[in-house]
């Protein structure tokens, strides 16, 4: 499910650089009893940065000189994060800031703002170079893994695997006028047993395949 502004070519003609903003991670469902609000915030930020890093890398991997490649410079996320932090912006709340204001602050022509809503906490984020406090890791590991247990289906006696729903959305905003240039929505279900990096990479590969700034 996607959208491309009919005036994308003219609006984006002068674009040189875009920025990928930390992803708004929405955790739903039961929260572990021992998890404090501070730890929950820490976990949400860790996942937000993992999604941001993955999306950035996937967009870079699709960049090049070919006809189907993405032809735009993407601001390094290290620079994006430094500017946000130096400006005193809470990375957990960056999604609440107007895209135009963010773009002007980052000195880019467009910003990519994404969100992911899910019911699973991702604890295996080490592949993204993102670490959590050991106490948070232990709490996450203690969440009952219902998915690891077979669930009997009374209708036919077969074994079912517990899955969870995941809603992801990525949007590209024009800094000059605030207009939405592109939007892609992914609604999917995935098995709880899938490693975090597979879930994250799968979503962002799909976003990257649909991303504009390509020569027709």
Q: Where are the domains of the chain?
A: 2-210
The predicted structure's pLDDT at residue 65: 76
The predicted structure's pLDDT at residue 3: 96
Question: What is the residue-wise DSSP string for the chain?
Answer: -EEE-TTHHHHHTT--EEEEPPPEEEE-SPPPTT--HHHHHHHHHHHHHHHHHHHHHHHHHTBSSSTTSB-SEE--HHHHHHHHHHTT--GGGGGGS-HHHHHHHHT-SEEEEEEEEES------GGGT----HHHHHHHHTS--GGGS-EE-TTT--EE--EEEEEEEEEEEETTT--EEEEEEEEEEEETTS-HHHHHHHHHHHHHHH-S-B--
Question: Taking the chain (216 residues) in consecutive chunks of 10 residues, what is each chunk's mean pLDDT?
Answer: 93 97 82 74 84 94 86 95 93 94 98 85 60 54 39 32 72 97 87 68 92 88
Degrees to nearest 5, angle at CA 116 with 94 and 107? 35
The predicted structure's pLDDT at residue 210: 94
Question: In the CATH hierarchy, which fold is given to the domain comprising 2-210?
Answer: Rossmann fold (3.40.50)
pLDDT digits (tens, 9 = 90+) for 88-147: 999 889 999 999 999 999 999 999 999 988 765 555 565 666 665 655 555 445 444 333
């Amino acid at each position: 499910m996607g959208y491309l502004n009919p005036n994308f070519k003219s609006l984006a003609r002068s674009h040189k650089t875009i920025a990928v903003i930390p992803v708004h991670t929405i955790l739903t469902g039961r929260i572990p009893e021992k998890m404090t609000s501070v730890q929950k915030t820490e976990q949400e930020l860790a996942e937000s940065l993992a999604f941001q890093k993955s999306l950035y890398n996937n967009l870079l991997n699709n960049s090049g000189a070919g006809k189907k490649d993405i032809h735009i410079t993407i601001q390094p996320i290290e620079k994006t994060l430094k500017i946000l932090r130096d400006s005193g912006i809470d990375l957990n709340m960056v999604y609440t800031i107007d895209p135009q204001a963010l773009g002007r602050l980052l000195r880019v022509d467009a910003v990519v703002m994404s969100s992911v809503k899910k019911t699973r906490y991702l604890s295996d984020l080490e592949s993204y170079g993102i670490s959590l406090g050991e106490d948070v890791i232990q709490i996450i590991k203690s969440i009952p893994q219902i998915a690891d247990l077979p669930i009997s289906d009374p209708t036919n006696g077969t074994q079912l695997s517990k899955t969870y729903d995941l809603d992801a959305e990525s949007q590209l905003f024009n800094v000059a006028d605030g207009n939405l240039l592109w939007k892609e929505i992914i609604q999917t279900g995935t098995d709880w047993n899938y490693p975090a990096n597979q879930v994250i990479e799968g979503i962002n590969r799909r976003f990257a395949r649909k991303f504009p700034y390509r020569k027709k």
